[in-house]
Amino acid sequence: GRPAQLCLVDLPGYGFAEAPDEKRLQWTEFTLWYIRARKNLQRVLLLIDGRQGLKPSDREMISYLERHNVAWQIIVTKSDKVPAKQLAKRITIMKEDLTQFRKMASAPIPVAAVKRRGMESLRDILNDMKVAKEMVK
């Protein structure tokens, strides 16, 4: 048989970007179109900076994903830049804030790329999303 396939697409951010407003608007329109139009999209991973938590733009994106029936999950980045107790509290608050949403695929995963924390959990989730090549069209 053929090996399982996984395609990750890094879409332009809807939050911070050093670009003119017009360019950012184009990126946002493309990203929203892509999410709506992609029939084999299994999940959107929202990268949330652990130092900042959920911002209004993150909440807007989550609401958009919910309206369009798209599964999503939060990956809390830079978790090594936040003291452990503060990070735990921030993630607990985040989970409580998100209980109202039905398309959240799984609890937020804190990761620290530099210190390799949480990477195994992220790899496990990505591995579970692999599909047989024949299914990807």
Prediction pTM value: 0.85
Do residues 104 and 68 make contact, with C-beta atoms less than 8 angstroms apart?
Answer: no
**Cβ count within 10 A of residue 7:** 11
| Calpha distance 21→122 (Å, rounded) | 32
Angle between helices 21-37 and 56-67 (to 10 degrees): 30
Q: Supply φ then ψ for residue 9, to 5 degrees.
A: -120, 120
Q: What is the pLDDT of residue 16?
A: 66
Residue 70 predicted with pLDDT over 80 = yes
Q: What is the mean pLDDT of the chain?
A: 87
Q: What is the pLDDT of residue 115?
A: 83
